Amino acid sequence: MNQALLFALLVASARGSAIQRHNADLSSRVRRAASPYDEIDSWIGSVPDDTEKQRSGDVQKMLADVGKYISVHKWIGFDRRKERTDGIINETFASSFPTPPLVEIHKEILANCRKSIFECIQVVYLAAAEYLESVDSPNPRHPEKNSTSSMIETHDPFKSVLEDFNFRTSASYFLCYFTLQRVPVFRHFDCKKSRFREDFIDYRAEYNVPYGCAELSFCPETCCSKPSVSPDVFGTCLRSKGHDSENFCSRNNRGSMCRTVPFLNENFKDLALNAINVTCSGHD
Ligand SMILES: *[C@@H]1O[C@H](CO)[C@@H](O)[C@H](O)[C@H]1NC(C)=O
Ligand SMILES: *[C@@H]1O[C@H](CO)[C@@H](O)[C@H](O)[C@H]1NC(C)=O
Ligand SMILES: *[C@@H]1O[C@H](CO)[C@@H](O)[C@H](O)[C@H]1NC(C)=O
């Protein structure tokens, strides 16, 4: 192991423990949630990657829609469990999964993502297709609404916005997890639909970085995290290819380059708790 990598690993584990300390109170508050997550951790490593079905199911096309569906939730969704008295959306899931984590994972996600990677993608795709149809078609009920506001307001195909929130958050846990485990089907898919904000184009999409679209669509931007995030800050951070004065590494004087570490993020529960490990280095 070379020295640079060793340093990265040390930083990564320091980050893990720092976040775990930070989340200590959170863990006790979600003790009830511990069992579903522990159970998922017991089988998540052996979910079949059924490549035969993926070929016949045209999974790349499905992923393009799934990418848009989940990235809308990531960039402009908000926590439906929390009451918004001021009417201001100031907490998206751009840099972290919702806190506290879900107490229950959506049943359909759980059942299908346990069966196989294809089944997992398909169950999200079916919801994504209905959702995209409802936001892309002119809305007779609210003709004055532009597409950004209709994207936020609809809960199609679910009964409530709360169930929609639960479904999409559950889906993002699994899809981000499989992406970080480098399941091959997530390597490349068409990112155009995920870029619904022009200023959020980042180097991973632009240079067709393997797994870049999937990370951009499904995972929080751990490296761009900051207590208060504005779209401007995000635009700058994403364009900076991981070099940014506000990222975890810069703020802790570990060099300016920050990346998520695929194989050091194998714990599903810790992923949902936002204990995502990163590496830091000085140069590209
Ligand atoms: C969002 O606004 C609420 C109410 O004003 C505040 O309590 C909360 O800390 C804010 N969250 C962020 C991430 O700024
Ligand atoms: C679309 O609606 C959103 C939310 O109501 C608003 O913030 C935004 O400025 C609108 N965009 C346009 C182009 O009208
Ligand atoms: C990050 O690393 C820490 C320390 O090795 C580990 O406990 C934690 O589970 C890791 N996080 C994820 C999401 O796997």
CA angle 158, 162, 167 (to 5 degrees): 60
Record the tokens describing residue 252, joined without a space. Answer: 């802790």
Please report the pLDDT score of residue 281 as a whole number. 84
Q: How far apart are CA 254 and CA 105, in angstroms?
A: 36
Please report the pLDDT score of residue 90 as a whole number. 61
Which ligand has the nearest atom to the CA of 230? 1
Please report the pLDDT score of residue 1 as a whole number. 37
* Whether the Cβ atoms of residue 79 and residue 256 lie closer than 8 Å to each other: no
Please report the pLDDT score of residue 88 as a whole number. 59
Sequence-distant (6+) residues with CB within 8 A of 134 are 150, 154, 156, 157
As to burial, measured by CB atoms within 10 angstroms (0-12 exposed, 13-18 middle, 19+ buried), residue 126 is middle
Please report the pLDDT score of residue 177 as a whole number. 97
Please report the pLDDT score of residue 252 as a whole number. 83
Which ligand has the nearest atom to the CA of 229? 1
Sequence-distant (6+) residues with CB within 8 A of 225 are 95, 96, 247, 248
Looking from the CA of 126 toward its CB, the CA atoms found within 13 Å total 11
DSSP-derived pairing of the beta strands 278-281 and 257-260:
antiparallel
Which ligand has the nearest atom to the CA of 89? 1
Please report the pLDDT score of residue 11 as a whole number. 37
Please report the pLDDT score of residue 228 as a whole number. 52
Please report the pLDDT score of residue 79 as a whole number. 87
Q: How far apart are CA 177 and CA 182, in angstroms?
A: 9
The binding-site residues of ligand 3, defined as CB within 6 angstroms of any ligand atom, are: 13, 16, 264-267, 270-271, 275-277
**Which one-letter DSSP state was computed for residue 274?**
T
β partners of residue 278: 260
Please state, as a whole number, how many other Cβ atoms lie within 10 Å of the Cβ of residue 254. 22
Please report the pLDDT score of residue 28 as a whole number. 47
Out of 148, 150, 196, 230, give the residue to mutate to test ligand 2, the one with the largest number of ligand atoms within 8 Å of its CB: 148
* Whether the Cβ atoms of residue 54 and residue 185 lie closer than 8 Å to each other: yes
Q: Classify 130 in phi/psi space as left (phi over 0), alpha (psi -120 to 50) or beta.
A: alpha
Sequence-distant (6+) residues with CB within 8 A of 266 are 45, 180, 181
Record the tokens describing residue 162, joined without a space. Answer: 């709360």
For ligand 2, the distance from its centroid to the CA atom of residue 148, given in whole angstroms, is 6
Please report the pLDDT score of residue 18 as a whole number. 35
Sequence-distant (6+) residues with CB within 8 A of 46 are none
Please report the pLDDT score of residue 19 as a whole number. 37
Nearest CA to ligand 2 atom 2: 149
Q: What is the pLDDT along the chain (284 residues), one digit of tens a residue?
A: 343 333 333 334 434 333 333 343 444 444 544 578 999 999 999 999 998 888 887 899 999 999 999 988 888 888 888 876 666 556 678 888 999 999 999 999 999 999 999 999 999 999 999 998 888 766 555 555 556 666 777 788 999 989 999 999 999 999 999 999 999 999 998 887 766 566 566 667 766 789 988 998 999 988 876 645 565 666 667 666 666 677 778 888 888 788 888 889 999 999 999 999 988 887 54
Q: How far apart are CA 41 and CA 221, in angstroms?
A: 23
Please report the pLDDT score of residue 6 as a whole number. 34
**Which one-letter DSSP state was computed for residue 101?**
P
Residue with tokens 């001021």: 86
